[in-house]
Amino acid sequence: MVGYLIRRLWQMIPTLFGVVLLVFVLFKLFGGDPAEILGGLNASKEQIAAIRQELGLDQPWWFQFWIFVKSIVTFDWGKSWATGEPVGHLFATRLPATLTVMLPILVLDVLLAMPIAMWVAYRRGSLTDRTIMIVATVALSISFLVYVIVGQYVFGFLLGWFPVQGWSDSTWENLHRYVPLPVMLAVAVGIAPQTRLYRSFFLDELGHDYVRTARAKGMTEGVVLFRHVLRNAMIPILTNVGLALPGVFVGSFLIEVFFSIPGLGREVLLAVNRSDYPVIQAVTVYLSVLTMLINLATDILYKFADPRVVLR
Protein backbone atom coordinates (compact mmCIF):
# COMPACT_ATOMS: atom_id res chain seq x y z
CA MET A 1 0.00 0.00 0.00
CA VAL A 2 2.80 2.43 0.94
CA GLY A 3 4.66 1.71 -2.28
CA TYR A 4 1.49 2.27 -4.29
CA LEU A 5 0.90 5.63 -2.58
CA ILE A 6 4.46 6.75 -3.28
CA ARG A 7 4.19 5.78 -6.95
CA ARG A 8 0.86 7.54 -7.38
CA LEU A 9 2.06 10.69 -5.67
CA TRP A 10 5.17 10.65 -7.83
CA GLN A 11 3.04 10.26 -10.96
CA MET A 12 1.01 13.31 -9.95
CA ILE A 13 4.03 15.59 -10.28
CA PRO A 14 4.20 15.67 -14.11
CA THR A 15 0.41 15.91 -14.31
CA LEU A 16 0.36 18.82 -11.91
CA PHE A 17 3.23 20.48 -13.77
CA GLY A 18 1.24 20.20 -17.00
CA VAL A 19 -1.83 21.78 -15.35
CA VAL A 20 0.24 24.62 -13.90
CA LEU A 21 1.93 25.25 -17.25
CA LEU A 22 -1.42 25.23 -19.06
CA VAL A 23 -2.96 27.68 -16.59
CA PHE A 24 0.06 29.97 -16.89
CA VAL A 25 -0.04 29.93 -20.71
CA LEU A 26 -3.80 30.49 -20.90
CA PHE A 27 -3.71 33.48 -18.57
CA LYS A 28 -0.61 34.81 -20.29
CA LEU A 29 -1.99 34.60 -23.83
CA PHE A 30 -5.73 35.12 -23.40
CA GLY A 31 -6.20 36.78 -20.03
CA GLY A 32 -5.27 40.31 -21.03
CA ASP A 33 -2.65 42.54 -19.48
CA PRO A 34 -2.97 42.48 -15.66
CA ALA A 35 -1.27 45.88 -15.42
CA GLU A 36 -3.92 47.49 -17.61
CA ILE A 37 -6.70 45.78 -15.66
CA LEU A 38 -5.31 46.98 -12.34
CA GLY A 39 -4.54 50.46 -13.64
CA GLY A 40 -7.97 51.01 -15.11
CA LEU A 41 -8.99 53.04 -18.14
CA ASN A 42 -7.53 56.32 -16.87
CA ALA A 43 -4.07 55.00 -15.98
CA SER A 44 -1.11 56.58 -17.72
CA LYS A 45 1.63 54.64 -19.44
CA GLU A 46 3.98 55.40 -16.55
CA GLN A 47 1.49 53.99 -14.02
CA ILE A 48 0.99 50.85 -16.10
CA ALA A 49 4.74 50.40 -16.42
CA ALA A 50 5.11 50.74 -12.64
CA ILE A 51 2.43 48.12 -12.05
CA ARG A 52 4.09 45.76 -14.52
CA GLN A 53 7.37 46.16 -12.69
CA GLU A 54 5.70 45.58 -9.30
CA LEU A 55 4.04 42.37 -10.54
CA GLY A 56 7.20 41.17 -12.28
CA LEU A 57 5.54 41.31 -15.69
CA ASP A 58 8.56 43.07 -17.17
CA GLN A 59 10.68 39.97 -16.48
CA PRO A 60 11.27 37.10 -18.96
CA TRP A 61 8.47 34.53 -19.22
CA TRP A 62 10.51 31.83 -17.48
CA PHE A 63 11.02 34.09 -14.48
CA GLN A 64 7.32 34.88 -14.38
CA PHE A 65 6.59 31.14 -14.49
CA TRP A 66 8.96 30.61 -11.58
CA ILE A 67 7.08 33.24 -9.58
CA PHE A 68 3.83 31.46 -10.45
CA VAL A 69 5.17 28.07 -9.30
CA LYS A 70 6.59 29.62 -6.15
CA SER A 71 3.19 31.08 -5.26
CA ILE A 72 1.66 27.59 -5.58
CA VAL A 73 4.27 25.89 -3.41
CA THR A 74 4.29 28.57 -0.71
CA PHE A 75 0.48 29.11 -0.80
CA ASP A 76 1.19 32.81 -1.23
CA TRP A 77 -0.81 34.21 -4.12
CA GLY A 78 -0.52 37.77 -2.95
CA LYS A 79 -3.63 39.89 -2.55
CA SER A 80 -6.91 40.03 -4.37
CA TRP A 81 -6.86 42.80 -6.96
CA ALA A 82 -10.46 43.70 -6.23
CA THR A 83 -10.57 43.74 -2.43
CA GLY A 84 -6.91 43.83 -1.36
CA GLU A 85 -7.52 40.80 0.87
CA PRO A 86 -4.79 38.13 0.92
CA VAL A 87 -5.86 35.20 -1.22
CA GLY A 88 -4.86 32.70 1.48
CA HIS A 89 -7.05 34.46 4.02
CA LEU A 90 -9.87 34.56 1.47
CA PHE A 91 -9.68 30.77 1.08
CA ALA A 92 -9.55 30.19 4.82
CA THR A 93 -12.59 32.36 5.54
CA ARG A 94 -14.80 31.35 2.56
CA LEU A 95 -14.16 27.61 2.39
CA PRO A 96 -15.94 26.69 5.69
CA ALA A 97 -19.22 28.16 4.43
CA THR A 98 -18.92 26.16 1.18
CA LEU A 99 -18.21 22.92 3.05
CA THR A 100 -21.08 23.56 5.48
CA VAL A 101 -23.52 23.52 2.58
CA MET A 102 -21.97 21.15 0.05
CA LEU A 103 -20.86 18.24 2.25
CA PRO A 104 -24.40 17.54 3.54
CA ILE A 105 -25.60 17.62 -0.07
CA LEU A 106 -23.02 15.04 -1.15
CA VAL A 107 -23.65 12.75 1.83
CA LEU A 108 -27.45 12.88 1.51
CA ASP A 109 -27.28 12.31 -2.24
CA VAL A 110 -25.37 9.07 -1.73
CA LEU A 111 -27.20 7.83 1.38
CA LEU A 112 -30.66 8.42 -0.10
CA ALA A 113 -29.96 7.36 -3.69
CA MET A 114 -28.35 4.01 -2.79
CA PRO A 115 -31.27 2.40 -0.88
CA ILE A 116 -33.83 3.81 -3.33
CA ALA A 117 -31.85 2.50 -6.30
CA MET A 118 -31.40 -0.90 -4.68
CA TRP A 119 -35.10 -1.14 -3.92
CA VAL A 120 -36.26 -0.25 -7.45
CA ALA A 121 -33.63 -2.53 -8.96
CA TYR A 122 -34.91 -5.39 -6.82
CA ARG A 123 -38.48 -4.52 -7.84
CA ARG A 124 -37.57 -4.12 -11.51
CA GLY A 125 -40.60 -3.82 -13.78
CA SER A 126 -43.01 -3.23 -10.90
CA LEU A 127 -45.27 -0.22 -10.50
CA THR A 128 -42.90 1.17 -7.86
CA ASP A 129 -39.94 0.90 -10.21
CA ARG A 130 -41.75 2.56 -13.09
CA THR A 131 -43.19 5.33 -10.92
CA ILE A 132 -39.83 6.24 -9.37
CA MET A 133 -38.12 6.19 -12.77
CA ILE A 134 -40.80 8.48 -14.23
CA VAL A 135 -40.43 10.88 -11.30
CA ALA A 136 -36.63 10.81 -11.67
CA THR A 137 -36.87 11.52 -15.39
CA VAL A 138 -39.22 14.45 -14.81
CA ALA A 139 -36.92 15.79 -12.08
CA LEU A 140 -33.98 15.60 -14.48
CA SER A 141 -35.89 17.66 -17.02
CA ILE A 142 -36.38 20.62 -14.69
CA SER A 143 -33.66 23.24 -14.35
CA PHE A 144 -32.11 23.83 -10.96
CA LEU A 145 -33.11 27.49 -11.23
CA VAL A 146 -36.76 26.42 -11.22
CA TYR A 147 -36.18 24.45 -8.03
CA VAL A 148 -34.57 27.50 -6.42
CA ILE A 149 -37.29 29.95 -7.43
CA VAL A 150 -40.19 27.66 -6.50
CA GLY A 151 -38.49 26.49 -3.30
CA GLN A 152 -37.75 29.98 -2.09
CA TYR A 153 -41.29 31.11 -2.86
CA VAL A 154 -43.05 28.13 -1.25
CA PHE A 155 -40.84 27.38 1.75
CA GLY A 156 -39.56 30.91 2.32
CA PHE A 157 -42.37 33.32 1.47
CA LEU A 158 -45.59 31.29 1.67
CA LEU A 159 -44.84 28.86 4.51
CA GLY A 160 -42.07 30.85 6.19
CA TRP A 161 -40.23 27.71 7.27
CA PHE A 162 -36.77 28.85 6.22
CA PRO A 163 -35.11 32.20 5.51
CA VAL A 164 -34.49 32.75 1.82
CA GLN A 165 -31.08 34.34 2.33
CA GLY A 166 -28.63 34.94 5.12
CA TRP A 167 -25.65 33.58 7.03
CA SER A 168 -24.14 33.89 10.48
CA ASP A 169 -20.86 33.24 12.30
CA SER A 170 -22.35 30.30 14.20
CA THR A 171 -22.00 26.92 12.49
CA TRP A 172 -24.89 25.44 14.47
CA GLU A 173 -27.22 28.30 13.57
CA ASN A 174 -26.25 27.97 9.92
CA LEU A 175 -26.91 24.22 9.94
CA HIS A 176 -30.41 24.43 11.38
CA ARG A 177 -31.51 27.79 9.99
CA TYR A 178 -29.84 28.71 6.69
CA VAL A 179 -28.56 25.38 5.32
CA PRO A 180 -31.71 23.18 5.20
CA LEU A 181 -33.44 24.94 2.29
CA PRO A 182 -30.50 24.98 -0.18
CA VAL A 183 -29.54 21.44 0.85
CA MET A 184 -33.10 20.19 0.39
CA LEU A 185 -33.39 21.75 -3.07
CA ALA A 186 -29.95 20.55 -4.19
CA VAL A 187 -30.67 17.00 -2.99
CA ALA A 188 -34.02 17.05 -4.82
CA VAL A 189 -32.09 17.85 -8.00
CA GLY A 190 -29.15 15.51 -7.46
CA ILE A 191 -30.92 12.41 -6.19
CA ALA A 192 -32.73 11.78 -9.50
CA PRO A 193 -29.66 11.15 -11.71
CA GLN A 194 -27.91 9.30 -8.89
CA THR A 195 -30.88 6.97 -8.43
CA ARG A 196 -31.03 6.15 -12.13
CA LEU A 197 -27.29 5.55 -12.30
CA TYR A 198 -27.08 3.41 -9.14
CA ARG A 199 -30.12 1.42 -10.30
CA SER A 200 -28.20 0.40 -13.42
CA PHE A 201 -25.26 -0.69 -11.24
CA PHE A 202 -27.48 -2.86 -9.05
CA LEU A 203 -29.34 -4.33 -12.03
CA ASP A 204 -26.03 -5.33 -13.57
CA GLU A 205 -24.99 -7.15 -10.38
CA LEU A 206 -28.39 -8.81 -9.91
CA GLY A 207 -28.00 -10.45 -13.31
CA HIS A 208 -24.76 -12.23 -12.44
CA ASP A 209 -24.47 -15.93 -11.70
CA TYR A 210 -23.26 -15.47 -8.12
CA VAL A 211 -26.65 -14.00 -7.18
CA ARG A 212 -28.49 -17.07 -8.45
CA THR A 213 -25.96 -19.29 -6.66
CA ALA A 214 -26.44 -17.43 -3.39
CA ARG A 215 -30.21 -17.77 -3.66
CA ALA A 216 -29.88 -21.46 -4.51
CA LYS A 217 -27.89 -21.95 -1.30
CA GLY A 218 -30.85 -20.63 0.67
CA MET A 219 -29.53 -17.18 1.54
CA THR A 220 -32.16 -14.59 2.36
CA GLU A 221 -32.76 -11.69 0.01
CA GLY A 222 -31.35 -9.29 2.59
CA VAL A 223 -28.07 -11.18 2.72
CA VAL A 224 -27.90 -11.42 -1.06
CA LEU A 225 -28.57 -7.70 -1.55
CA PHE A 226 -26.49 -6.19 1.23
CA ARG A 227 -23.63 -8.65 1.55
CA HIS A 228 -23.06 -9.49 -2.10
CA VAL A 229 -24.84 -7.16 -4.52
CA LEU A 230 -24.14 -3.94 -2.62
CA ARG A 231 -20.52 -4.82 -2.01
CA ASN A 232 -19.85 -5.55 -5.69
CA ALA A 233 -21.75 -2.47 -6.82
CA MET A 234 -19.65 -0.25 -4.56
CA ILE A 235 -16.82 -0.09 -7.12
CA PRO A 236 -18.75 1.91 -9.74
CA ILE A 237 -20.56 3.83 -6.99
CA LEU A 238 -17.24 4.93 -5.49
CA THR A 239 -16.07 5.93 -8.97
CA ASN A 240 -19.16 8.08 -9.43
CA VAL A 241 -18.75 9.70 -6.00
CA GLY A 242 -15.09 10.42 -6.72
CA LEU A 243 -16.02 12.10 -9.98
CA ALA A 244 -18.77 14.09 -8.28
CA LEU A 245 -16.67 15.47 -5.44
CA PRO A 246 -14.86 18.18 -7.46
CA GLY A 247 -18.24 19.11 -8.89
CA VAL A 248 -19.43 19.81 -5.36
CA PHE A 249 -17.39 23.00 -5.34
CA VAL A 250 -18.43 23.93 -8.86
CA GLY A 251 -22.06 23.31 -7.99
CA SER A 252 -21.78 25.59 -4.99
CA PHE A 253 -21.55 28.65 -7.26
CA LEU A 254 -25.28 28.97 -8.01
CA ILE A 255 -26.37 27.96 -4.51
CA GLU A 256 -24.14 30.52 -2.82
CA VAL A 257 -25.26 33.29 -5.18
CA PHE A 258 -29.00 32.67 -4.87
CA PHE A 259 -28.91 32.14 -1.10
CA SER A 260 -26.29 34.83 -0.33
CA ILE A 261 -23.91 32.37 1.28
CA PRO A 262 -20.42 33.88 1.72
CA GLY A 263 -18.61 30.84 0.37
CA LEU A 264 -15.80 30.20 -2.04
CA GLY A 265 -18.09 29.64 -5.01
CA ARG A 266 -19.62 33.09 -4.83
CA GLU A 267 -16.16 34.58 -4.39
CA VAL A 268 -14.95 32.86 -7.58
CA LEU A 269 -17.87 34.28 -9.57
CA LEU A 270 -17.10 37.74 -8.24
CA ALA A 271 -13.43 37.25 -9.13
CA VAL A 272 -14.36 36.29 -12.70
CA ASN A 273 -16.56 39.37 -13.07
CA ARG A 274 -13.75 41.58 -11.71
CA SER A 275 -10.93 39.84 -13.66
CA ASP A 276 -9.31 39.09 -10.31
CA TYR A 277 -6.54 36.83 -11.64
CA PRO A 278 -4.85 35.79 -8.35
CA VAL A 279 -8.11 34.34 -7.01
CA ILE A 280 -9.04 32.63 -10.28
CA GLN A 281 -5.59 31.09 -10.71
CA ALA A 282 -5.50 29.83 -7.13
CA VAL A 283 -8.90 28.18 -7.42
CA THR A 284 -8.02 26.60 -10.76
CA VAL A 285 -4.76 25.07 -9.57
CA TYR A 286 -5.99 23.89 -6.20
CA LEU A 287 -9.14 22.38 -7.70
CA SER A 288 -6.95 20.31 -10.02
CA VAL A 289 -4.86 19.17 -7.04
CA LEU A 290 -8.04 18.27 -5.17
CA THR A 291 -9.26 16.26 -8.15
CA MET A 292 -6.04 14.23 -8.29
CA LEU A 293 -6.12 13.54 -4.54
CA ILE A 294 -9.76 12.47 -4.73
CA ASN A 295 -8.93 10.06 -7.54
CA LEU A 296 -6.14 8.60 -5.43
CA ALA A 297 -8.44 8.23 -2.41
CA THR A 298 -11.06 6.55 -4.60
CA ASP A 299 -8.55 4.00 -5.88
CA ILE A 300 -7.55 3.17 -2.31
CA LEU A 301 -11.18 2.77 -1.27
CA TYR A 302 -11.59 0.18 -4.02
CA LYS A 303 -9.34 -2.09 -1.98
CA PHE A 304 -11.53 -1.76 1.11
CA ALA A 305 -14.75 -2.26 -0.87
CA ASP A 306 -13.44 -5.34 -2.66
CA PRO A 307 -10.36 -7.17 -1.26
CA ARG A 308 -9.88 -8.79 -4.67
CA VAL A 309 -8.71 -5.48 -6.08
CA VAL A 310 -4.94 -5.35 -6.43
CA LEU A 311 -3.27 -1.94 -6.25
CA ARG A 312 -0.36 -1.74 -8.65
* Tens-place pLDDT, residues 144-165: 788 888 888 888 888 888 888 8
Confidence class for position 18, pLDDT limits 50, 70, 90 = confident
Q: How far is CA 291 from the centre of its chain?
A: 9
Distance CA 201, CA 65 (A): 45
Neighbour-count burial for 260-274, b at 16+ CB within 10 Å, e otherwise? ebebbbbbbeebeee
Distance CA 176, CA 199 (A): 32
Q: Where are the alpha helices (DSSP H) in 31-126?
A: 34-39, 45-55, 61-74, 87-122
Residues facing residue 79 across a β-bridge: 86
Q: What is the pLDDT of residue 35?
A: 67
Closest CA to 106 of 187, 193, 202, 199: 187
- DSSP label at 82? T
Please classify residue 304 by burial: count the beta carbons closer than 10 Å to its beta carbon, then call 0-12 exposed, 13-18 middle and 19+ buried.
Answer: exposed
> Quick check: is 72 in a domain?
no
Q: Are 88 and 254 in contact (CB under 8 A)?
A: no
> Quick check: is 180 in a domain?
yes
Q: pTM higher than 0.85 for the full model?
A: no
> Quick check: is 230 in a domain?
yes
DSSP conformation letters of 190-220:
HHHHHHHHHHHHHHHHHTSHHHHHHHHTT--
> Quick check: is 224 in a domain?
yes
Distance CA 190, CA 104 (A): 12
Q: How far is CA 146 from the centre of its chain?
A: 21
Distance CA 307, CA 260 (A): 45
- Sign for the pseudo-dihedral over CA of 28, 32, 38, 42: positive
> Quick check: is 251 in a domain?
yes
> Quick check: is 216 in a domain?
yes
Domain extent, residue 270, equals 96-305
Mean per-residue pLDDT, 256-266: 80
Q: What is the pLDDT of residue 245?
A: 74
Mean per-residue pLDDT, 266-274: 76
> Quick check: is 19 in a domain?
no
Distance CA 154, CA 281 (A): 39
* Tens-place pLDDT, residues 174-184: 888 888 888 88
Q: What is the CATH number of the domain that holds 100?
A: 1.10.3720.10
Q: Are 238 and 302 in contact (CB under 8 A)?
A: yes
Overall domain count for the chain: 1
> Quick check: is 165 in a domain?
yes
